[in-house]
Structure 1
Amino acid sequence: MSLHPDSKILIIGSGVFGLSTALWLARSGYRRITVFDMQDTGWKGYAPGAGIKSASADINKIVRFSYGNEIEYQRLASQAAEIWDGWNQEIASLAEAELPEVLRKGERKLWHKCGFLRMGAGDEFADTELQTLRNMEIEGIRDTQFKSDDDNDIERAARTGWAHKLDVCSRQERFGVHKAVLDSSAGFVVAYKACAWAQHLARKAGVEFILHPTNGKVVGIDTTADHKPVLRTADGKTHEGDLVVVAGGGWTAGLLPEAVGLIETTAGSVATIQIPHDRPDLWDRFSPENFPVVTWGMKEGKDIYSFPRDENGVIKIGFRKIKWTSYGNVAGERISAPSAEENIPVPALEEYISLNLPELAELGLSSTWLCWYTDSIDNSFVVDFVPGRPRVAICSGGSGHGFKFLPILGREVVKVLEGNGDQTVYGKMWKWRTSTAKERNGLEEGEEGPRVLDKQRMASREDWVF
C-alpha cells in the first residue's frame, strides 16, 4: 500500500510502541492519526496505582546499552539516549503550564544517568558481558565501562567519580569475589512521566486519542470489500482506516490470531520496598547519586534487577528469569493474556535482597505486581505487515527491553509502514518470521508448560516480611 499525508492511520495501544509510532508518523507529515486504548492513559496517566495495566505504566525502566553481540540494538539505544537528553533539556526549559500535569510536580526529569552495574553471582564473567565490552570498544565508547577486576578501569573510575558505584553491595569484602561491569552512560527513565510526556508531544503534533473502556476498546479488525481495515470497538461502532497498526502490548495476540506462535504474553515479577523518610541513612545510600541500576546473576540464572530509590523513596526490584503465562479463551483461541493477578510467585526476590541488600530486609516488601510484556520467539521486536493483510501492521514483541527506545522506535516503524522495511537494518531484524527450533523462547511450551500462573504458589502478604 502507499501512504500519503491524509491517509487515515488507526493505532491500537497507547503504550511505548503505539506512542512512538504515532509521534513519528505525525512528525513525518501524516495528519490523520488516531490512537485507541481501552485504558484512559490520558486522564489517569501512566502512574502506578492509577489502575492502568500495561508494561508501559510503571515506576521506572532501565536504559542500557549492553546487548552482547546484538550491536544494532546497542546503537539504537545510544541514539535514543541522545533524544532522552534532549527531552530532559526541553522539559527543564518549559514553563509549568506548558507541561503535562504529572511533570508539574516533583522532579522535572525523565532520564537519570546514574550508571548500570551488571553484577555477576559467581567468579567468572558471562560471555555476553565480554562481547558487550568488545562492542563498546568497536564503537569507541569503552571508556564509559568500568570492569571490576581491571586495574586501569578501577583507577579511571576513581579519577572520574564513579568508584563508589563499582561495588555498591560490598561483594568483594563480604564474599571475596566481585565480577561486575559498571556502565557510566546508562541508568533509568521515570516510565510514567516519560509516557505522559510522549503522549503530550503526540497531541501537540495533532494525534487524536480515544481512551475509553468501551469507545477505545478494539474488539475486532475486519476488512471492507475494497480491502480497507475496519476496527470494531466495544461501544458497537466501526472505524474505517487506510492502515491499522496493532501495538497492543500484552493484548496484541488476542487481536491478531495470526501472531500466536510468533509472540506470547508473559509476565515478570515486580516488587517494591518503601524507604521511610525518617531513615536518612537508607535515603542517602539508595539515592541515584549513590546507587546505580543493578542486575545480578544473569550468567548464573538469577536474573534479578533493582533500581535506586525514586523521588518518593520507592525501590523497585524485578525478576525476569521465569516469564509467567496465563492462558484463557480469547477470540476463540486459547492464548496467554494479561491476568488481574497482583501477587507474584514465591521464589522470586528474597535471595537477592538477603545476599546483596541485607539492610533492606527488615523493611520487607511494600507492594507486588505482575508486569505483562509480549515476548517474541527470539526477543527481537516484530514490526511488519501481517501476512495476507496488507493494510494491517503489527508493532509488538518488546520482550522486556523495549521501553528505552520510546524516543526513537517510531522512526524505524515509519520506514516499515512506508514500505521501506526491507531496505533498513531494523526492518529486516523485525520482519514477521517463523521458527522450527525446538526451543522458541518458551513459546513452544503452551498451556501445558511449567510457567503457567495457575501452577504456581503465589506470595501472600506474610511472604513480604523477610
Structure 2
Amino acid sequence: MYGPPKPGSKIIIVGAGCFGLATALALSSDKEKNYDIHVFDRGVIPIIDAASTDISKAVRMDYGTNKLCMELAVDAIRVWEQWNKERAENGLKPVYHNTGMIAFSDNGELSEYDKQGLETIREAGYGEFIEELSSEEIKKRYPFFETAVNNGYDIAYFNKVGGGYSWCNSSEAIMHIYKKCISNGVNFILGKESGCFESNLVDPQSPRTVLGIKTIDGNEHRGDRVILATGPWTPGVIDMQGQVIASGQVIVQFKLSDKDRRSLNDLPVWSGNVSKTGCYGFPVNDDGILKIGKHSIGYLNPRATDNISIPRTQASNPGDTIPLKALNEFREFLDTFLPLTTPLDVFYSRVCWYSDSIDGDFVICPHPNYDNYIVATGDSGHAMKFLPNIGQKIKDVIDAKDTEYTRAWAWRNKEAKLDFYDRPLLIQNNHKVLRMVTLEELKAKINC
C-alpha cells in the first residue's frame, strides 16, 4: 500500500523532461515538506531526444469532452503568462506566444471532435474565446489559406488571442523550469554513465520495496521514493502491463525566404481537420522555420529481446529522418492545404517519441508492483502545455492526495482496444516496405 513520504525524505526522480522537471519544481517549492530531491538523466538539459526538446509545442484548451484537461490548460496558461513576465524582467524573450488557433473542418460542417470541444468550452463559460468562421471569412482574414478553403477545408473556428490556443518555445521553456529547480536547490546528476538509470534497487527481503536506483556507472543511489518520469522509455525499463506504448510521431520543418515569411506573417497555430488528416502547424518562428506535425497512430520500434517498442532517436541514430510513407502524406496534404511549401525542401525532419496510454490520459500513479514507486508517464503527445502546473498534480500523487486528477490518472484495470498495439514498424524489416527517407528525397520534387 502506497503512503506519502515523510518531510525531509530523499526523493529520486528519473528523467529530466517535462514530467520530471515539473515534479522537481513542485516538490522543491514545498518548503514545509523540505524534500531532498535528486534528478537523474543520461544527457544534458534540454535532453536532446526528449519530446519536449523542440522549437514549438501547442498550448491549447480545446480538449473535446475532457473538461479536466481543459481546466488544467486554462490554469497552465496563467502560469505561462507569469513566466513571460519573469523573463521580461530579466531581459529574456517570452517562452509562451498567444497567437490563437484556427481549426479547420471540411464539407461545411465542423468535425464531431470540434463540436464536442466547443460545447465543453462554452459550458465552462469560455464561449467568448470562440469565433466560428465561414469559407469567405477565412479567405478574407487569412489569404494564404485560400487554396485550403477551395480544396474543401471550408469551415473553421478560431480560438481568439487571449482565449488559450497558442504555442511555447519548448526547449527554452525546459531551460526556464530547469533554472527554477536549480534555484530551489534540486540536485541534478547528469551524464551517460553517472546519470543513466540501469535498474531499480529492490529490497531482497521485501520485493515490493524499492530502495533506490542503480546507474550505469555501477553506483547505487538510495532514496525514500523513486519517481520514474522516463516518457516513452518507461515500458522498456519497467513492466507497465500494456498501459502505455512508445509511439513515434513525425514532424517536418521548412526554412522560409523573407518573402514567404512576410506572406505568413499572421499565421496562427492551425489544425487541418486534424481528426482526419492528423496535420497541424505553427507560426513561423524568429529563425524563419515553419514547423508542421502529423499526429496519427504512430510507428513502433520493437526491441528484439521482448518486442517492446522503444524509442529510436537521432541521438543514437544520427542519420534518421522520417518514414517515406510519412513524407508522402505530408506532401500530399500540404500541396492542397498550404502549397507555399510545395517548392520547398524539407529543412529538417524528426520522429518524435510519445508515451501513448491506452486511453489518451496520463498514467501518473503508484506502480501496482511496488509500495514506494511512482510512474509519471503516458503523455500521449499532449503534456508539454502543462509544464508550468503538471508538477503540482504529480506532487499530489506523491503526497497520496485524493483529487479528480489523481483518480483520472490512476492505474487502469482495463485492456486497450484490440488495435492499440497494431501500428506500422518504424524501419524496414524483412518484407516490410517502410523505410526512412534519404536527404535527397527530402528535397522538393519540382527541384529534382
TM-score (norm 1): 0.86
- For residue 343 of structure 1, report the CA deviation from its aligned partner: 1.5
Corresponding residue number in structure 2 for 1:59: 55
Q: Deviations over 1:52-100 (max 9, x none)?
A: 11101111000111111111100100000000000001100125xxxxx
- Paired amino acid for 2:78: E
Moved more, 199-208 or 132-141: 132-141
Name the amino acid aligned to 2:181: A
Which of 113, 124, 136 is 2:109 aligned to? Answer: 124
Contact (CA 8 Å) 1:31, 1:206: kept in 2 or not? Answer: no
Instruction: Pick one of 124, 127, 130 that aligns with 1:139.
Output: 124
Match of 1:39 in 2: 43
Shift in Å at residue 218 of structure 1? 0.3
Residue number among 424, 431, 443 corresponding to 1:450 in the alignment: 424
Partner-residue secondary structure (3-state), 1:254: helix
| Residue matched to 2:18 | 16
Pair 143,10 (structure 1): closer, same or farther in 2 beyond 3 Å: same
Match of 2:85 in 1: 89
AA aligned opposite 1:244: V
Three-state SS of the structure 1 residue aligned to 2:335 is helix
Show the 5 A alignment for 1:380-391. 380-391=361-372
Give distance in 1, aligned partners of 2:416 and 2:252: 34
8 Å Cα contact 1:9/1:244 also seen in 2: yes
Query: 2:308 maps to which residue?
Result: 335
Matches of 2:29 and 2:140 in 1, distance apart? 42
Per-residue CA distance 1:393-449 (angstroms, 9 max, x = gap) = 1000000000000001011111111111xx211101100113235436x23x3xxx5
Amino acid at match of 2:44: D
Native 8 Å contact 2:200 2:210 kept in 1:
no
**Residue identity opposite 1:355 in structure 2:** T
* 2:9 maps to amino acid: S
- Residue 283 of structure 1: aligned partner: 261
Contact 2:147 2:339 in 1 (8 A): no
The match for 2:6 is 4
Contact map agreement 1:122 1:297 (CA 8 A) in 2 = no
Distance 1:116 1:430 in 2: 28
2:196 equivalent in structure 1: 217
3-state SS in 2 of match to 1:272: strand
* Contact 2:234 2:377 (8 Å CA) reproduced: yes
Cα offset for 1:163?
7.1
> Cα distance 1:131–1:171, how it changes in 2: closer, same or farther (>3 A)?
farther
| Cα distance change on mapping 1:333 and 1:163 into 2, 3 Å | same
The percent of aligned pairs where both chains have the same amino acid is 27
User: How is 1:229-308 mapped onto 2 (pairs within 5 angstroms)?
Assistant: 229-257=211-239, 259-276=240-257, 279=258, 281-287=259-265, 290-299=266-275, 301-308=276-283
- How far residue 205 of structure 1 moved from its aligned partner, in angstroms, is 0.8
Q: For the residues of structure 1 that align with 2:70 and 2:417, how far apart are their CA atoms?
A: 28
Moved segments of 4+, more than 4 Å: none
Deviation at 1:297, TM superposition (A): 2.4
Quick check: 73-82 or 353-362, which moved more? Answer: 353-362
Whole-Å separation in 2 of the counterparts to 1:269 and 1:173: 25
Q: CA 1:316–1:177 in structure 2 vs 1: closer, same or farther (change >3 Å)?
A: closer
Total equivalences in the alignment: 422
Aligned-pair CA distance for 1:168: 4.6
The reply on whether 1:164 has 2:141 as its aligned counterpart is yes
Q: Which runs of 5+ in 2 are unaligned?
A: none
Distance in 2, matches of 1:260 and 1:254, equals 11
Per-residue CA deviation, residues 150-185 of structure 1 (Å, 9 max, x unaligned), is 99xx6xx9xxxx9735x7511576346612111112
Q: TM-score, normalised by structure 2?
A: 0.89
2:75 equivalent among 66, 75, 79? 79
Equivalent residue number for residue 100 of structure 1: none
What code does the residue aligned with 2:201 have? D
Query: Residue by residue, what CA displacement relative to the aligned partner does 1:22-50 show, whole Å, maximum 9, x if unpaired?
Result: 10011123331011000111xxx45xxxx
1:416 — aligned with what?
397
Tell me, in whole angstroms, the C-alpha distance in 2 between the residues paired with 1:55 and 1:173: 32
Counterparts in 2 of 1:172 and 1:266: CA distance versus 1, 3 Å: closer
Q: Residue 373 of structure 2 aligns to which amino acid in structure 1?
A: V
Deviation at 1:250, TM superposition (A): 1.6
Contact 1:221 1:255 in 2 (8 A): no
* Cα distance in structure 1, aligned partners of 2:347 and 2:119: 40
**Is 1:179 the counterpart of 2:181 in the alignment?**
no
Give the letter for the 1:138 counterpart: E
Contact preservation (8 Å) 2:14, 2:39 = yes
Equivalent residues of 2:210, 2:370 under 8 A apart: no
Cα displacement (A) at 1:122: 3.9
SS in 1 for 2:381: coil
1:303-382 alignment to 2 at 5 Å?
A: 303-329=278-304, 333-340=306-313, 342-346=320-324, 347-382=328-363
Distance 1:351 1:172, change over 3 A: closer
Question: How many Å apart are 1:7 and its aligned residue?
Answer: 0.3
5+ unaligned residues in a row in structure 1: which ranges? Answer: 47-51, 96-102
C-alpha distance in 2 between matches for 1:189 and 1:121: 28
C-alpha deviations, 1:232-274, integer Å up to 9, x for none?
10001000100000000121112212x0400110111111101
- The worse-fitting range, judged by mean Cα deviation, of 75-84 and 132-141 is 132-141
- Paired with 1:322 and 1:438, the residues of 2 have a C-alpha distance of 13
Rounded to whole Å, the distance in 1 between the matches of 2:38 and 2:243 is 26
Alignment match of 1:461 (pick from 414, 439, 443): 439
Shift of 1:319: 1.3
Secondary structure of the residue aligned to 1:413 is helix
Q: Distance in 2 between matches of 1:333 and 1:176?
A: 45
- Contact 1:121–1:296 (CA under 8 A) maintained in structure 2: no
Q: CA deviation at 1:145?
A: 1.1
Question: What is the RMSD of the two structures over their aligned residues, measured on CA atoms?
Answer: 2.1
Q: What is the rounded CA distance, in whole Å, between the counterparts of 2:82 and 2:36 in structure 1?
A: 27
Q: Distance in 1 between matches of 2:153 and 2:170?
A: 34
